[in-house]
Amino acid sequence: MSESILKNHIKNYTDLSEEELTKVLSFFDCQSLKKKETLLTTNKPCNKLFFVTKGCLQLYFIDDLGYKKTTQFALENWWLTDFLAFQNQKESNFIIEAVEHSNVLSISYAKYQELLNTFPSLNIYFRNIYETAYGASLMRLKYINSYSKEEMYFRFQEEFPEFVQRVPQYLLASFLGLTPEYLSEIKKNRFS
Amino acid sequence: MSESILKNHIKNYTDLSEEELTKVLSFFDCQSLKKKETLLTTNKPCNKLFFVTKGCLQLYFIDDLGYKKTTQFALENWWLTDFLAFQNQKESNFIIEAVEHSNVLSISYAKYQELLNTFPSLNIYFRNIYETAYGASLMRLKYINSYSKEEMYFRFQEEFPEFVQRVPQYLLASFLGLTPEYLSEIKKNRFS
């Protein structure tokens, strides 16, 4: 089941055969994670890239005051890691944790390189994935500079209603740079 | 001269021959831009991808109060466009303008697709470029959530001293989300 999700995702971008896709999948490990289970921690080499087949992951760091600050979420069909650390085989600047019970496919840096060498057409797939992700992050930076935190929340709710339903409110607050109390306040004022 | 910069950049990631690289270059147009000349505007289809061979470009938008807000800069060896709009062939959400006299290579969306089909190994090149760019944008989001605007400036100055020297201070202020006056104040206090 987990595996067919990645197969179908790759099929959207490449013409790899079913047999080749099965070989692609053999490069990955399946992991089932409990809620709050950690996949990656800071100050240790970032050696894994993750693909979510079920559930939700968060990429976060802990600020000087001890608060968790969420930089990115990943739902089904999303790739997640500290990409800069992964690419340079450096220590991770982020922690990755399961927001809810999740299934992921993981691949080591060495296997990822071997995979791309064995199936060069996967570069087409990942080129598209990262082109979209980078484009989306530029739009996110635009939103951060355009909207108040309150407006960000309502815009987010409008664009990703399913996501707002699924993610605990304290995590959504962290992602939007709000305190959970302020988010409650915003929501209360909206509906009062 | 402009062309050899892109050739050398691609050589770092692929094993395309000199002859093939010359063919790659034939897909691009060379443009020489005066300071403040515009390459891309909002509300028009985003049909071009740019590679800077000399100078500096800025990707910005104008907020509701009429202020220019810089989302990204591109120096030599950087690619720039509104990637999400380019990929989906939608209207641009950003303006791209030359910060100083600049030379760029530009390619249309149709030519970019044709280029990637003709030289599939360029997917390796762009996969690496976008993987790095996306990773860097996650780090930037971390910085935005970690540092005060004042700390951001000093960190930026420490990591990219050449860049801080080259870019006009009012643009740097816009990039860091400061008013030019506040940036002057920060610098004055630092050296007083």
- Tell me the one-letter amino acid at B58: Q
Q: Could you tell me which residue, B21 or B173, shows the higher pLDDT? A: B21
Please tell me the predicted confidence (pLDDT) of residue A191. Answer: 62
Residue B31: other Cβ atoms inside 10 A: 17
Which of B61, B128, B140 minimises the CB distance to A142? B61
Q: Are residues B98 and B8 in the same domain?
A: yes
Please tell me the predicted confidence (pLDDT) of residue A78. Answer: 95
Rounded to 5 degrees, φ, ψ at B114 are: -65, -40
Residue A94: other Cβ atoms inside 10 A: 27
Measured between CB atoms, does B62 come within 8 Å of chain A? no
Cα–Cα distance, A30 to A51 (Å, whole number): 10
Which residues in chain A are closer than 8 Å to B64, comparing Cβ atoms? 146
How far is residue A115 from each of residues A112, A118, A127, B130, measured CA to CA in Å?
5, 5, 14, 18
Please tell me the predicted confidence (pLDDT) of residue B52. Answer: 97
Q: Are residues A135 and A151 in the same domain?
A: no
Please tell me the predicted confidence (pLDDT) of residue B133. Answer: 96
Please tell me the predicted confidence (pLDDT) of residue B109. Answer: 98
Rounded to a whole number of angstroms, the distance from the CA of B108 to the nearest CA of chain A is 16
Please tell me the predicted confidence (pLDDT) of residue A157. Answer: 82
Structural domain count, chain B:
2
Q: Are residues A153 and A140 in the same domain?
A: no
Q: Are residues B165 and B116 in the same domain?
A: no
Q: What is the mean pLDDT of chain B?
A: 91
State which of A109, A125, A145 marks the end of a domain: A145
Which of B72, B94, B139 minimises the CB distance to A84? B139
Residue to mutate among B57, B63, B84, B174, with most A CBs inside 10 A, is B84
Q: Are residues B23 and B88 in the same domain?
A: yes
Span B105-109, mean pLDDT? Answer: 98
Beta strands B102-108; B38-40: pairing state: unpaired
pLDDT digits (tens), chain A, 192 positions: 677 999 999 999 999 999 999 999 999 999 999 999 999 999 899 999 999 999 999 999 998 888 888 999 999 999 999 999 999 999 999 999 999 999 999 999 999 999 999 999 999 999 999 999 999 999 999 988 888 888 888 887 887 788 788 888 888 888 887 888 888 888 787 765
The ipTM of this complex is 0.92
Q: Are residues B159 and B87 in the same domain?
A: no
Cα–Cα distance, A10 to A107 (Å, whole number): 15
Which residues in chain A are closer than 8 Å to B86, comparing Cβ atoms? 135
- Does B173 have pLDDT greater than 90? no
Cα–Cα distance, A27 to B66 (Å, whole number): 51
Q: Is B144 helix (H, G, I), strand (E, B) or coil?
A: helix
Span B131-159, mean pLDDT? Answer: 87
CATH of residue B96: 2.60.120.10
Q: Are residues B157 and B113 in the same domain?
A: no
Q: Are residues A55 and A118 in the same domain?
A: yes
Question: What is the full DSSP assignment across B81-127?
Answer: S-HHHHHHT-B-SSEEEESSSEEEEEEEHHHHHHHHHH-TTHHHHHH
Span B108-133, mean pLDDT? Answer: 97
Please tell me the predicted confidence (pLDDT) of residue A192. Answer: 59
Q: Are residues A85 and A152 in the same domain?
A: no
Rounded to 5 degrees, φ, ψ at B95 are: -110, 140
Q: Specify which of A150-164, B49-63, B151-165 reaches the highest per-range mean pLDDT.
A: B49-63
Beta strands B102-108; B29-33: pairing state: antiparallel
For residue B42, the enclosing domain spans: 2-145
Measured between CB atoms, does A127 come within 8 Å of chain B? yes
Beta strands A38-40; A95-98: pairing state: antiparallel
Please tell me the predicted confidence (pLDDT) of residue B83. Answer: 97
Which residues in chain A are closer than 8 Å to B123, comparing Cβ atoms? 120-121, 123-124, 127
Q: Are residues B79 and B174 in the same domain?
A: no
> Do A54 and A98 form a contact (C-beta atoms < 8 A)?
no
- Does B192 have pLDDT greater than 70? no
Q: Are residues B85 and B162 in the same domain?
A: no
- Please give the share of chain B, as a percent, with pLDDT higher than 70: 98
Please tell me the predicted confidence (pLDDT) of residue A156. Answer: 79
Q: At what angle do helices A169-176 and A149-159 cross, to 10 degrees?
A: 120
Q: Are residues B50 and B33 in the same domain?
A: yes
Rounded to a whole number of angstroms, the distance from the CA of A138 to the nearest CA of chain B is 7
